[in-house]
Amino acid sequence: MVATPIESPSLIEIAKKTRDSARQLATLSSQERDRAIEAIARSLESAAPEIIAANEADCKQAQIDGISKALLARLKLGETKLKATIDGVRDVKKLPDPVGQVQIHRELDEGLILKRITCPLGVLGIIFEARPEALIQITSLAIKSGNGVILKGGKEATRSCQTLVKVIKQGLANTKVNPDAVQLLATREEIQALLKLDEYVDLIIPRGSNDFVRYVQDNTRIPVLGHADGICHLYVDKAANIEKAVEIAVDSKTQYPAACNAIETLLVHKDTAAQFLPKVAEALGRHKVELKGDEITREFLNIAPATEEDWKTEYCDLILSIKVVDSLEAAIGHINTYGSKHTDAIATEDNFAAESFLSQVDSAGVFHNCSTRFADGFRYGFGAEVGISTQKMPPRGPVGLEGLVTYKYQITGNGHIVADYTRANAKSFTHRDLT
Amino acid sequence: MVATPIESPSLIEIAKKTRDSARQLATLSSQERDRAIEAIARSLESAAPEIIAANEADCKQAQIDGISKALLARLKLGETKLKATIDGVRDVKKLPDPVGQVQIHRELDEGLILKRITCPLGVLGIIFEARPEALIQITSLAIKSGNGVILKGGKEATRSCQTLVKVIKQGLANTKVNPDAVQLLATREEIQALLKLDEYVDLIIPRGSNDFVRYVQDNTRIPVLGHADGICHLYVDKAANIEKAVEIAVDSKTQYPAACNAIETLLVHKDTAAQFLPKVAEALGRHKVELKGDEITREFLNIAPATEEDWKTEYCDLILSIKVVDSLEAAIGHINTYGSKHTDAIATEDNFAAESFLSQVDSAGVFHNCSTRFADGFRYGFGAEVGISTQKMPPRGPVGLEGLVTYKYQITGNGHIVADYTRANAKSFTHRDLT
């Protein structure tokens, strides 16, 4: 007898297994899913030393490979970060169940009842960079929402991810959730293959650089949750309160410059430029922000020129371009032309101007007299954020657990047929909403 | 001086014009949009003779070109159909405004108020076949929902479409809606170009053959509302009431066989096959339905064999494939493998079996003891249907006006900055829902 060599399972086999386990997961009760999440938290707690050791090995190798300090900081999963992440798992458990919510409950006719009810999407494909705690967060969100998940972490986090998935599967082993619902891919080549699996994967969430997200969007038929660029603006209107506007500008630019909801361009009404520009330049200077300006701005400030390219650039850094505009309409026009439909704000005491801005700016977030940095699922009170979408179709903006579920229409009847509603002397629909 | 030749505007120019007019349309009040819809209805009424003449010219040419009787019937827009369509325009006017609905209204902190509010998508691209009244319906739905629309009708309806758009623009001329919000494309080549305009077009709605819809889905980055296949099933459980099941099968197959929500395959539990199959075959025979069966089915019925290919086929005709299954699970497995996630039904008096079916079948519509033909926006009480989606992400299933709007997050503050919520002794969010 010749022994058949054991081959590593193909990606399609992995995807099928995830799909099957996800179908079973979708039928579990809220309590059963919450118990599985608690089991994951406990398993992670027990295995903390093993997880930290694996992560330390990753960090050592990364240092040998010479990765940047910033990346190393994100890769590192010490005891404190792990504990906080496990607390986060229990926070996810406490969130309201996104599955089984009845959105429509309607009598179509006597004994013919329509329900629109939320249900899991199926299988999520998550591709993330260094941060290993992202794996823990997204897995708990997937199980909370009844979805299977296929994970692919960065190469530098290989040992951390393998250990985490092993520990998570151990936790699930004694629950109603089949451990096969959580899968980890090993190689970078599998990303391309994953993007082609539109039969098995219902949503891709890429977490990484703008270029990487754009690559994913351009190379898959699977819906993608996320955004490539975050080119956000603050427009300081002629009726702005200068002090508030300066504070909002500083916060929007400097509170976390690498975030997608930080501003890249400041638009200033010409009537307020002389008063506002020197003050904001001084305040931003204290935060070491490098300024670039258009011609008129440079009449007030001694700064480098901003070019057409600047209006299209997400600096992700302490750099800000400034443009003086003739009117509110010009500001709205600039934002709708150069913005990325993420988040844009107006500073003004004129409520009419604010209303025009909020209704005409074509972005997921339109803010009045507050920082663009508020654009965030946790700050919106969603309890979790699975991504921020800059697409026009919902889900748009910061997306909570709502983005991981869909709905189906259920009708129950008692032998009802359509012919009875179309023939002569047809029955008619009642369309009575039930509460 | 040399005269510059007048060129026909390029598609990009048309798209930009539509985008600009749509931005303005998006700011109009409910009353202003409704007045525009009424103006369209009146303009169509006054121009009825001109419209009917143009349509008659199309029909004559189509007959010379030898188009099928079915297509000719769809192309023909007589007085009665036109009047009914104009009534439909006024029905759209009466629908609740889908724009400006507040979905979330939440205090994030004192003086910092979040609203999630519905707004138009922007510009719709609609590609439809022969039926010229589709142009009228979709234009009134677009304006109701605050969207601009770029239309492309079938070649055979050229004169009808040109006249209709001219008359619609005349109607809009004295309203707040810029007539440029409605555009008609002239040539088939422009379809390909339209699909590339993801910067200007927010949603494509293709109305046509399965192959055409698949072509559109495969050739654009713009979201597509619609479905290629409608492979729907009825599963007759061992606990089915045989008479109800026969009636549901007949209605689901024959009430309108070309519809996407008609069934293509009948699945029958083995324990009920002997009793059910002869009865359903007799009833379907009276409606001239051609039957194909798997091996076990053919032990009971003298019919042609069904092959693997049949389980994947949407006949759009009076043909039905039949398969005997061992269990409820096998039926669910077959549907989730071969179905198109459109609409699938179970006939059973066993509520536990029904619940399993409704929760485990992965389709937009899951029905118990009623015909699949109920899957329809009007029957669901949406007042309008812009398409039926078989994608997993919302909007899913029959889509009403809800599918033509999105939402944005508006926050109003009074100088609020994020730094105050992250520093030592930070302020905290209240996240209090306001009613």
DSSP readout, B246-271?
Answer: HHHHHHHHHSSTTSTTSEEEEEEEHH
Indicate the average pLDDT of chain B: 94
Whether residue A210 is predicted with pLDDT greater than 80 in this model: the reply is yes
Task: Answer whether residue B413 is part of any domain.
Answer: no
Euclidean distance between CA atoms B426 and B412, whole angstroms: 20
Nearest to B266 by CA among B299, B289, B287: B289
| Set of chain A residues whose Cβ sits within 8 Å of the Cβ of B250 | 417
- The residue among A346, A393, A414, A421 with the most chain B CBs within 10 A of its CB, best to mutate, is A393
Task: Report d(CA A177, CA A180) in Å as an integer.
Answer: 8
Same domain, B79 and B137: yes
Q: Choose one of B374, B390, B416: the last residue of a domain.
A: B374
Q: State residue A98 phi and psi, 5-degree precision.
A: -80, -10
Residue A109 domain-assigned (yes or no): yes
CA distance B248 to B243: 9
CB contact under 8 A, A392 and B202: yes
Q: Would you tell me how many other CB atoms lie within 10 Å of the CB of residue A376?
A: 18
The answer to whether residues B251 and B301 belong to one domain is: yes
Q: Nearest CA to CA, how far is B373 from chain A (Å)?
A: 6
Structure tokens at B294: 């798997």
Q: Does B244 sit within 8 Å of A370, measured CB to CB?
A: no
Dump pLDDT digits (tens) for A253-282.
Answer: 999 998 999 999 999 999 999 999 999 999
Closest CB to B364 among A244, A396, A408: A408
Query: What mean pLDDT do residues B304-329 have?
Result: 97
Q: End of a domain among A332, A349, A374?
A: A374
Nearest residue, CB atoms, A408 vs list B119, B366, B431: B366
pTM listed for this prediction: 0.93
Residue A422 lies in a domain: no
Question: Which among B139, B173, B143, B141 is positioned nearest to B153, based on CA atoms?
Answer: B139
pLDDT digits (tens, 9 = 90+) for A333-377: 999 999 999 999 999 999 999 999 999 999 999 999 999 999 999
CA distance B316 to B342: 14
The pair of structure tokens assigned to A73 is 């900081």
Residue A161 predicted with pLDDT over 60: yes
pLDDT in tens, B269-296: 999 999 999 999 999 999 999 999 999 9
Given an 8 Å threshold on Cβ–Cβ distance, is A406 in contact with B392?
A: yes
A279 assigned to some structural domain = yes
* pLDDT tens-digit readout, A104-148: 999 999 999 999 999 999 999 999 887 899 999 999 999 999 999
Mean pLDDT on B120-127: 96
Burial level of B369, CB count in 10 A (0-12/13-18/19+)?
Answer: buried
Q: Is the CB of A371 less than 8 angstroms away from the CB of B416?
A: yes
* Separation of alpha carbons B259 and B247, rounded Å: 18
Rounded to 5 degrees, φ, ψ at B260 are: -70, -20
Tell me the sheet residues that pair with B148. Answer: B123
- Three-state DSSP class for A368? strand
Measured distance CA(A101)–CA(A402) in Å, rounded: 11
Contact B393 A360 (CB under 8 A): no
Q: Tell me if A108 and B379 make a contact (CB, 8 A cut-off).
A: yes
> What pLDDT does residue A6 have?
45
Contacts of B397 in chain A (CB under 8 A): 408-409
Within a domain: B381: no
Q: How far apart are CA B273 and CA A94, in angstroms?
A: 48
Residue owning tokens 């919106």? A380
Residues 6+ apart with CB under 8 A from B424: none
A407/B417 CB distance under 8 A = no
B414/A106 CB distance under 8 A? no
Chains A–B, number of C-beta pairs less than 8 Å apart: 216
B358 with B331: CB under 8 angstroms? Answer: no
Q: Which of B406, B415, B417 sits opposite A392 (nearest CB)?
A: B406
Joined tokens for residue B229: 């296949």
Question: Is the Cβ pair B380, A114 closer than 8 Å?
Answer: yes
Co-location of A181 and A239 in the same domain = no
Residue A383 domain-assigned?
Answer: no
Residue of A nearest to B29 (CA): A359
Provide the pLDDT for residue A102. 97
Angle between helices A79-94 and A30-46 (to 10 degrees): 170
Cα distance between residue B197 and residue B100, in whole Å: 27
- Shared domain for A155 and A181, answered yes or no, is yes
Best A392, A407, A421 residue to mutate vs chain B (most B CBs within 10 Å): A392
pLDDT per position as a tens digit, A297-344 = 999 999 999 999 999 999 999 999 999 999 999 999 999 999 999 999
Same domain, A201 and A252: no
**CA A217, A218, A220 angle in degrees (round to 5)?**
70
Q: Give the C-alpha separation, B141 to B205, whole Å.
A: 12
Query: Which pLDDT does position A227 carry in this prediction?
Result: 85
> Any idea what the CATH number is for the domain that residue A49 is in?
3.40.605.10
Distance CA B393, CA A391 (A): 14
Q: Do A365 and B392 touch (CB under 8 A)?
A: no
Q: How confident is the model at residue A2 (pLDDT cuts 50, 70, 90)?
A: very low
Residue A206, SS3 per DSSP: strand
CB B392 within 8 A of CB A348: no
Are A87 and A210 within one domain?
yes
Contacts of A367 in chain B (CB under 8 A): 410-413
Is 80 exceeded by the pLDDT of residue B1?
Answer: no
Total number of domains in chain A: 2
Whether residues B211 and B300 share a domain: the answer is no
Least confident piece of the model among A52-66, A381-395, B276-290: A381-395
* Structural domain span for residue B128: 11-218
Contacts of A417 in chain B (CB under 8 A): 247-248, 250-251, 255, 370-371, 373
Contact between chains at B410 and A23 (C-beta distance less than 8 A): no
Quick one: how far is CA B402 from the chain centroid? 11
Kindly state whether residue B411 falls inside one of the protein's structural domains.
no
d(CA B408, CA A343): 10
Spatial contact of A159 and A75, defined as CB atoms under 8 Å apart: no
- Note whether residue A419 is domain-resident: no
- Which CB contacts under 8 angstroms, 24+ apart, belong to A397-403? A397/A343, A397/A364, A397/A365, A397/B408, A397/B409, A398/B409, A399/A225, A401/A95, A401/A98, A401/A141, A401/A144, A401/A145, A402/A98, A403/A203, A403/A225
- Co-location of A136 and A251 in the same domain: no
Give residue for tokens 């305009």.
B197
User: How many Å lie between the alpha carbon of A356 and the closest alpha carbon of chain B?
Assistant: 8
Residues A40 and A163 in one domain: yes
Say whether both A198 and A343 belong to one domain: no
The pLDDT score that the predictor gives to residue A8 is 53
In a shared domain, residues A293 and A341:
yes
CA distances from B193 to A3, B10, B187, B197 (A): 57, 10, 10, 7
Tokens describing residue B136: 């009228």
